[in-house]
Structures are given as structure tokens and as C-alpha cells.
Amino acid sequence: MKNLVPYSTDVGLLILRIATGSLMFFHGTGKMSDFLHGKDDFYDPFGIGGVASLALVVFAEFFCSLFLVLGLWTRFILTPLIICMNVAFFIYHKQDELLEKELPLLYLNFVALFVMGPGRYALGRKSTPPVS
């Protein structure tokens, strides 16, 4: 069965995955550093403690974004990233002006990647043909 998705769509998904994943990875390196240095006063929106909240954010922003760049378990690892950016936009930056919360809003393009999938150029791409 022939793949009906044009190569340009897969190249676009590759660029989107690498660009947003890389930017999020580098954004998460500061939080990873905070975590490794024992920072315990991180914002705690769910009452689980600052360290646990920071650990969840590090998992999403640092580790999940790395897997996103590689195209491994794409939809699975996008779930924590989408949740993290929703919390950042709707809870942490709730009272801020748009310019203060535009970065988490832009990262909500993770939803598009979740819907579209990783594309043809991903390490975790399924080898089964697409359903037409």
C-alpha cells in the first residue's frame, strides 16, 4: 500500500519535532540544574511539593523533549509536555499579560504533533502502512 502523505508533510513534522523539542530541551536544562542542586522552592500547583513538581517538569521539559527530537514514543511523551505547557499557561502565568505567557502558548503546538504523529522520519515510526 502506497503512503498517501506527501514527503513535504513528513519533512515539516521533522522540522517541527526537532525545533520545538530542541528549544524545550534547552529550556529544561535550567530546571534540570535546579533539580540536581536540590532546589525545593519550585512552584507547586497541585500541592505535591516543590521537589516533586520540579521533578515532573524536568521529566517533561528535559527528558520528553529529547525523545521528541528523536521521534521515539512521540504521542506518549507529548502527553506530559502538553500537560506541562497547559499548567504553565493556564495556572502559573494565569495573571500575566500575553507577552509573559506567549512561550507556553507557542509550545502548545505539541498538540499538533500529537494529532499528526511523528512523521516518516522518526526513530520510533511504525513500520505498518497507513490506513487509507
CA quadruple 42, 47, 49, 51: dihedral, nearest 10: -50
pLDDT bracket for residue 106 (50, 70, 90): confident
Domain that residue 35 falls in: 7-116
Q: Does the residue 1 lie in any domain?
A: no
> Is the pLDDT at 1 greater than 90, yes or no?
no
Which residue has cell 494565569? 94
What's the pTM? Answer: 0.82
Give me the count of residues in the chain. 132
> Is the pLDDT at 96 greater than 80, yes or no?
yes
Q: Does the residue 63 lie in any domain?
A: yes
Q: Does the residue 45 lie in any domain?
A: yes
> Is the pLDDT at 59 greater than 60, yes or no?
yes
Q: Does the residue 24 lie in any domain?
A: yes
Q: Can you give the pLDDT at residue 58?
A: 95
Q: Does the residue 125 lie in any domain?
A: no
pLDDT bracket for residue 65 (50, 70, 90): very high
Q: Does the residue 72 lie in any domain?
A: yes
Domain count, the chain: 1
Better pLDDT: 15 or 93: 15
> Is the pLDDT at 107 greater than 60, yes or no?
yes
Q: Does the residue 124 lie in any domain?
A: no
Q: Does the residue 132 lie in any domain?
A: no
Q: Can you give the pLDDT at residue 126?
A: 63
Buried b (16+ CB within 10 A) or exposed e, 102-131: eebeebeebeebbebbbbbebeeeeeeeee
